Structure 1
Amino acid sequence: MKTWFLKHNSRRYFRLDMPVRVFIAPSSPIKDREIYATGIDYFPPTIKKLIAQQKRDTLYWLERVQDQKVLVTELFMEVIACIEFFGQSSEKMSKGINPRLDPPTWLSLEQRKLGFTKINALKDSSPKTYTYFKHIEAKYLVFLKAMVNSIENSTDQHFEAEQHLPYNFKIDEILEHFQKEQFEKIPLVQSIAALCGFMGTYLEAYRQMNDDNVLRTFPEQWPSVQGNISACGLAMLFTKRFKDFERVDVFFYFPEEKRTLKFDGTVVDIRSINDQYKERIAVNFDFPNGKDQDFLQHKIQQFELDECLSYEF
């Protein structure tokens, strides 16, 4: 038996947790930068905390690997260095800094396009490990090459984004297989899984930066995410962070009506949710358009009614 409770809410507009297609961006980009940048922080404290934990997990399991320990350790350390370099370059770009203008950084980026140099040492002696790392390398290079292309073609007025950064790499399928109980205490498997999580956090931060520069005009591609919504504002969890009291553009897309709403908003609250490695961002709408506000309120009430009807009393 399910029950439904309607809580008292003294606000003019009720807030409701509901899935919604939404896109939020700062109203003004960073000014006087080498590369166009919105100013969003893609490496907030929660993400840096997650990255640190994933690196510790990788090193913890790596210390317990016994088979070909020297070669494996050298390869792991090279890959970690490559991932961290990618992250550092991503963070610079998010701040409007062009890595191409720093010759040593640009040379390192170009060299890393060749892949992991120490991987071939395991080709004959550990073909399975070699294959795993070739799949890790393949995923890494897709993102690295997208980054290099962006750096080469971006200007202070334009961020050259990749419209379709892929998902579902072969290494991701392998990681699902590694989740089986039989692999729980195998150091090499667990170190690879931790390393891929470490890499994935950096890559997804770059994906967000990329997508924030390409998806604004493609609302049908916005994912449906859970948010606390009202006709006068919203609060949502992100893996990125906006600035306190920053002016933002908030867009909603409703596929059934093929309608996009735009609200001018102000960030009024930011909280780090450390146990989820997320940032909770609250936005109030500033002088919203009456028709758009009424339509949003209608969609909220419609969702609330549908939820009520789906419960058994």
Structure 2
Amino acid sequence: MNRFTQGNSRRYFRYSIQCKYFVSPELLESSTDIYSNGIDYFNRATEDSILHLKTQVMHKLHRLRAHQATFLQIVTDIFDKFDVVMGYLQMLNRGQEIASRKIYLQNHQALLGGFKGIKKLEDDAPKTYELLLKIEQKFVLYTQMIQETIDNSTRTKLHVCDYPEAFRFTPEIRLQFVNRGELLNSSDLLQMILSIEQLFEKGFEPFNNLATDYLLFQKHDSWIKRELNISACGLAFTDSRAYPNLTRADVKLSLDDSYAEVVRLDGKIVRSRYLPQQNLNQTAIDFYFPKSVEQKQLLGYLHRLETIESMQGWAHAGNQ
């Protein structure tokens, strides 16, 4: 807990709760070419997941007994196109201008042309072809969305048409092809395709988070409840997002049963570090000189949590 508190806020403990919250680091507009909110969406957690999933794909590929050369060509092309788009996302994540670069224009049509070699599977392996075709279609759709964002974003505005969906097979596709028990466990080919799907899902997650945060910033009713450790002096959480250390931040909390729709607090990010075992980033924020109204709202909420916890403790003791 930090020392910048008012009243008796020190006596409140930390609580782990499910809460809607939004953290906005302070960022100078002139520090980036195009829109950036200061959050690092494409960080080590994403990079490690991508490396792990690529390794899984190659491991399953080398275990295939039939058509290995064909699938090697397909996977190589998938990785090449995937890496190009990931490069765009890394630059977009840093707020760097991309649209005018020559290499971006050269890759434009090649990325939308789909994956080389999957057409060969249409007759010999129609179900495999259909699964890879679904991945290809989603990849092209995502690439178009990212290119549209790159082409139309400005320093103050992120161009996003709609909320991007997670990159995964629909329940119908999973029911038809994937959920087949023992066959899934014994099929290296099916597991390879699922690893490719997971690779794309994890790779496009930074774009999903960036777009969703931008669209939902002012719509607290639509924020997603996430695990949060909170006290009167600060909060902590783990997330795939990484935040800049020692930076001031605007913290917004939507607390259940609170008198205010949103409690807004000034804070400072005192720690944001990568946790390799969880493959997530841990962020801690201290509240600095909160306004009395906002602090009273937070203290009132914590007091209710403390009361509920005490009553539950008494009830448990009475049942012993």
Aligned partner of 1:210 in structure 2 is 211
Corresponding residue number in structure 1 for 2:155: 156
For residues 34-61 of structure 1, the C-alpha deviation after alignment (integer angstroms, 9 at most, x for no partner) is 2111232222223222211111111111
**How far is the alpha carbon of 1:224 from its aligned partner?**
0.3
Q: Which is worse superposed, 44-53 or 29-38? A: 29-38
Q: CA deviation at 1:89?
A: 0.5
Match of 2:66 in 1: 67
- Report the Cα offset of residue 205 of structure 1: 1.3
Task: Give the deviation of 1:300 after TM superposition.
Answer: 2.9
Q: Which residue of 2 aligns with 1:3?
A: none
Q: Gaps spanning 5+ residues in structure 2: where?
A: 1-8
Q: 1 CA distance for matches of 2:25 and 2:90? A: 17
Structure 2 equivalent of residue 4 of structure 1: none
The residue aligned with 2:187 is 186
Could you tell me the TM-score, scaled by structure 1's length? 0.88
Distance 1:66 1:87 in 2: 31
- The question of whether the paired residues in 2 share the 8 Å contact of 1:27 and 1:247 is answered with yes
Contact 2:163 2:208 in 1 (8 A): no
Alignment match, 2:267: 265
SS in 2 for 1:214: helix
5 Å matches for 1:51-200?
Answer: 51-167=50-166, 169-171=168-170, 174=173, 177-178=178-179, 180-200=181-201
Which amino acid is 1:39 matched to? Answer: G
- Note if contact 1:230-1:300 (Cα within 8 Å) is conserved in structure 2: yes
Residues 19 and 264 (structure 1), Cα distance of their counterparts in 2 relative to 1, 3 Å cut: same
Give the TM-score of the pair, scaled to structure 2. 0.86
Deviates more, 1:71-80 or 1:10-19: 10-19
Q: CA deviation at 1:310?
A: 6.0
SS at match of 1:100: coil
Asked if 1:247 corresponds to 2:248, the answer is yes
State the SS of the aligned residue for 2:12. coil
Which SS does the other structure have where 2:235 is aligned?
A: strand
Structure 1 CA distance for aligned equivalents of residues 52 and 120 of structure 2:
29
| Bigger shift: residues 301-310 or 125-134 | 301-310
* Residues 30-39 or 236-245, more deviating: 30-39
Q: Distance in 2 between matches of 1:23 and 1:183?
A: 39
AA at the equivalent of 2:40: D
Q: In the TM superposition, what are the counterparts of 1:8-27 in structure 2 within 5 Å?
A: 11-27=10-26
Partner of 1:7: none
Q: Letter of the aligned partner of 1:36 in structure 2?
A: Y
Q: 2:225 is matched by which residue type in structure 1?
A: S
Distance of 1:288 and 1:155 partners within structure 2: 33
Question: Are the structure 2 counterparts of residues 310 and 193 from structure 1 closer, same or farther at C-alpha, using a change threshold of 3 Å?
Answer: farther
Q: Which amino acid aligns with 1:67?
A: A
- The answer as to whether partners of 2:168 and 2:201 remain within 8 angstroms in 1 is no
Query: For this pair of structures, how many residues does the alignment match?
Result: 304
Letter in 1 for 2:194: A
Amino acid corresponding to residue 58 of structure 1 in structure 2:
V
What stretches of structure 1 of length at least 5 have no aligned partner? 1-9
Q: 2:293 aligns with which of 286, 291, 294?
A: 291
What secondary structure does 1:217 align onto? coil
When structure 1 is superposed on structure 2, of 187-196 and 14-23 the one drifting more is: 187-196
Q: Which amino acid aligns with 2:284?
A: A
| Distance (Å, rounded) in 1 between the aligned partners of 2:93 and 2:64 | 36
Percent sequence identity is 23
Task: Compare CA radii of gyration and give the structure with the larger one.
Answer: 2
Single out whichever of 120-129 and 276-285 deviates more from structure 2. 120-129
| 1:282 alignment counterpart | 284
Mapped contact 1:220–1:255 kept (Cα < 8 A): no
Deviation for aligned residue 1:203: 0.9
Counterpart of 2:158 in structure 1: which amino acid? F
Deviations 1:49-95 (CA, angstroms, capped at 9, x unpaired): 22111111111111111222222221112112222222111010111
CA contact (8 A) 2:121 2:128 kept: yes
Which letter maps to 2:303?
Answer: Q
| Residues 105 and 172 (structure 1), Cα distance of their counterparts in 2 relative to 1, 3 Å cut | farther
Equivalent-residue separation in structure 1 for 2:166 and 2:154 (angstroms): 27
Task: Kindly state the Cα deviation for residue 237 of structure 1 after the two structures are TM-superposed.
Answer: 0.3
Give 1:296's aligned amino acid.
Answer: L
Q: Give the residue type in structure 2 aligned to 1:193.
A: L
Query: Deviation of residue 180 (structure 1)?
Result: 3.4
Q: What whole-Å deviation, never above 9, does each CA across 1:131-184 have from its counterpart, x for those lacking one?
A: 101111232233212111111210122111243212475356645835834412
